[in-house]
Structure 1
Amino acid sequence: MRRCRALSTSAVSDALDRLGIAGQALGIAPLDRRFRLCGRAWTLRYGPVGEDRGTVGDYIDDLGPGDVVVLDNQSRLDATVWGDLLTVTAHRRGVEGTVIDGVCRDVDRSLALDYPVFSRGNWMRTGKDRVRVEATRIAVSIGGIRVEPGDLLLGDGDGLVVLPRFREADILAAAEEIESAEGRIRDQVTEGASLREARSAHGYHELQHCTGAAR
């Protein structure tokens, strides 16, 4: 977690490409570009309601520091699965943030509390009586990327990346190398070198070289 927090999603994305791992969640963005989150996935999948009408948020009291709420609402844009009461409760419990493949509402509360929400957007229409919890702590899909319980997630103004738990050490090492090299290139350009010279000196074009097939 400490190492991951120090990185950008861009560096992790390049590391994922180098290692041939699909981990960039397409279409998932922060409500505020200044939001950052880093933590381990606590997953939940929603589906349409049946005659039982279902529920949308009774799980939140089980979460705490280090957790990121990951809600797979199957990219649905016409019914929210996150709002004011969930934001207040999650913030009070020290939850790291919320990721939704779908939409949220009550954006002002998230902004006021500086509570990170990453989603496909926001809309006011409730999910109550429209969606129900299908399963928790199972593999879900977020932005076309598989997320397993306990996977490491990193989000910033550029979006969201998923670091599969069984490869996270390799991803973090590669991302640290990439970010360090790009920092040296940036420093060299600031001191007057040409970009061509600085890139050549630090092997820029090899940094993101893919070494495997995307899973």
Structure 2
Amino acid sequence: MSQLSEREILDRLRALDTSELSDALDRHGVAGQCHGLFPVDRAMHFAGQAFTVRYGPAGSPPGDVGDFIDDLGPGTVVVLDNQGRTDATVWGDLLTSVASVRGVAGTVIDGVCRDSSVCVDLGYPVFSRGRWMRTGKDRVQVEAYQAPVSIGGVRVVPSDYLIGDADGVVVVPAGEVTTVLASAEEIRDAEQQIRKLVGAGARLREAREQTGYHRLQSRAEG
């Protein structure tokens, strides 16, 4: 099989939902489901590759909270590890506005965001643990760019693939993306066939057996 281009990978990821990808990750023993992160608006969705930022408590004097957004290109997912803090935000309206103009795919925060109405108005996807208005300035500072981070209990390294929709966020490691894609598409196709069979009068158990659905929901061998 020829190697997939980044565009082909992203096009195929966008055609899948997080539930299908989650089942595929489970099938291959890959921990990629980010716990507790949801979109500001349930209609938001994205797929792209990670640009990571790790935050820590502000020092004395405090460091900066990041001026990275101008350097990011289309299709990037901003991944902000604020250690799950809900008392200080690291994303607001100015970052949303610039990211939207630059074609950034979305933002994922292990922490909170603010100015959420701007995200909704611009249709810019932001996924976080919630919303709160208090700034992170002088409370947190950037510790590292493009380093491994933890998001919702999942390790993310630069260029991993992230996908978000109404049900949350999944991470597909770059080295596993071809395998996970193939399994997720097989699961999607089987579920579509099950719906057709049930619609034609089949029992759910029979439809699952006919499509080999239980096999697709089990850990792959090898």
Is residue 57–residue 86 contact of structure 1 (8 Å, CA) maintained in 2?
no
Structure 2 counterpart of 1:131, from 133, 136, 140: 140
Q: Distance in 1 between matches of 2:65 and 2:202?
A: 56
Cα distance, 1:212 vs structure 2: 6.6
1:82-121 matches, cutoff 5 A: 82-121=91-130
Aligned 1:12-91 pairs, distance under 5 A: 12-91=21-100
Give the match for residue 162 of structure 1.
Answer: 171
Superposition CA RMSD, Å: 1.1
Q: Deviations over 1:7-61 (max 9, x none)?
A: 0100100000000010000001111111101000000000000112121231100
Secondary structure of the residue aligned to 1:69 is strand
Aligned equivalents of 2:26, 2:112: Cα separation in 1: 28
Q: Tell me, which stretches of 5 or more residues in structure 2 are unaligned? A: 1-9
Q: 2:189 aligned with 1:173, yes or no?
A: no
CA distance in 1, matches of 2:103, 2:221: 37
197 and 212 in structure 1: CA distance in 2 versus 1, 3 angstrom threshold: closer
The structural deviation recorded for 1:200 is 1.3
The CA distance in 2 between the partners of 1:72 and 1:5, in whole Å, is 24
| Residue in 2 that maps onto 1:203 | 212
Q: Give yes or no for contact 1:102–1:121 (8 Å, CA) kept in 2.
A: yes
In structure 1, runs of 5+ residues without a counterpart are: none
Q: In structure 2, what is the Cα distance between the partners aligned to 1:16 and 1:74?
A: 24
Aligned to 1:92, the other structure's residue is in SS state helix
Q: 1:211 Cα deviation (Å)? A: 2.8
Q: Where in structure 1 do 4 or more consecutive aligned residues deviate above 3 Å?
A: none
Secondary structure at the counterpart of residue 7 of structure 1 = coil
Specify the SS of the correspondent of 1:103. Answer: strand
Which is further off, 102-111 or 183-192?
A: 183-192
2:155 maps to: 146
Distance in 2 separating the partners of 1:212 and 1:122? 42
**Conservation of the 8 A alpha-carbon contact between 1:38 and 1:153:** yes
Separation in structure 1 between the aligned mates of residue 49 and residue 61 of structure 2, nearest angstrom:
31
Percent identical residues: 62
SS of the aligned residue for 1:42 comes to strand
The alpha-carbon deviation at position 180 of structure 1 amounts to: 0.6
